[in-house]
Amino acid sequence: MSTETVTITSLGAQGDGIAHGSAGPIYVPFALPGETVAIARVKNHGTVMSTSVASPDRVQPACRHFGPEGVGGSCGGCSLQHLARPAYGAFKRSLVIAALKSKGLEPEVGPLVEAEAGERRRVVFAARRTEKGLLVGFNQAESHHIVPIEECPVISAGIFARLEAVRTIGLAAAGADAFRITVIESLTGLDVAIDGVKQLSDRQRRDVTEAVLKLRGIARVSVNGEIVIEPQKPLLDFSGIRVAPPPGAFTQATVAAEEAMARLVLDHVGKAKRVADLFAGVGTFALRLARTAQVHAVESDEKALKALDHAGRNTQGLKPVSVEKRDLFRRPLMVSELKTFDAVVFDPPRAGAEEQCKELARSAVKKVVAVSCNPLSLARDLAILVGGGYAITGVTPIDQFLWTPHVEVVATLVRR
């Protein structure tokens, strides 16, 4: 380890400050462009010891757990609380611009749709049994150390208010190893999904059940995907359509971001009469689209697909929604199958939808909406579509993981 003084020139893709040394870039967490900092350096990683010149974009962090002086350690949930909002928005937008440019694409990228504090309705906690009870919090960056949280300005008040209940339930299910607790705030209460523990003993199952029956505001508890107790079916609201997700289901992290994405999707699809929603999940877009169009929803997760199908069949006023269980990475919809659709929406995992885009590029589908949580894979997929004759008509970055380097993107395309 060596000590040296460096000047930060830019922010990296993970939100670390970057300085340039004789041996290459040095990554310095919690430092901002324009700052001069003394660092303790190990290889290409620097830890701030002191700051002699501070950035005008530096602001007071919102949480006591943030930064190198964070209470209990440096919580790894956020990396950008110290960056003023205008610069923060420009940084996230720049991630999308840079990703697109790397593939030769230079469409106009809209301003960031901002997230606000207290909006996160889906949270994944790290947990471990200790002598004092259950430790619940977030892992320190690049570490297995769990920082116990005494406050969190990101997560919803409804989740934070019931954190003690989550601890009680988690303790009843805990073994010797660390595990995850995913909490979704639903209309009927918290949906608590515990993963990474050994199969529950009869006593543990009884303890979890008794704990939930004594607590308020818990809709369901599942362990490793199996429902242990469900006092009320958890329900999500997709613009007036109620959906009961399976345990541990993927949902958008905030309602505000979900609604912003849905508006962009619906506006672009417009009056299309037949739409394919690929990687449809529990129906975030498919069910909303079904108010005006026939929808074919394709998803590999059978439980998610069943939730979507049930909601579609039991909501009045929707057009027909057909469902298909299919691994779109291995079996994308082919050109011959795409010819019946006026529009296609796809929202894949981080890996993107490369094979599906190759088929879309050869198709005659008039409108496409690409939704992504990874600007790099999105840029690759858009380049395939543009190469096949599509024109990008809009790119909108959306922030739903506040104070992190993650950014959602909705891109709209039409066939030229």
Residue 57 annotated in ligand binding: no
Signed CA dihedral, 122, 347, 288, 242: sign only: negative
**Under a CB-based contact definition with an 8 Å cutoff, are residues 288 and 241 in contact?**
yes
Cα 332 from chain centre = 24
Separation between Cα atoms, residue 138 and residue 41, nearest integer Å: 25
Separation between Cα atoms, residue 89 and residue 340, nearest integer Å: 40
Residue 347 annotated in ligand binding: yes
Separation between Cα atoms, residue 86 and residue 58, nearest integer Å: 11
Structure tokens at 298: 């394709």
Separation between Cα atoms, residue 63 and residue 159, nearest integer Å: 17
Separation between Cα atoms, residue 142 and residue 75, nearest integer Å: 11
For 322, the enclosing helix (H) or strand (E) is strand 321-325
**Under a CB-based contact definition with an 8 Å cutoff, are residues 174 and 200 in contact?**
no
Residue 81 annotated in ligand binding: no
**Under a CB-based contact definition with an 8 Å cutoff, are residues 251 and 317 in contact?**
no
The residue type found at 193 is A
- Catalytic annotation present for 373: yes
Q: Check 63, 75, 78, 373 and give the catalytic one.
A: 373
Residue 294 annotated in ligand binding: no
Cite the active site residues.
373
| Residues flagged as binding site for S-adenosyl-L-methionine | 252, 279, 299, 347
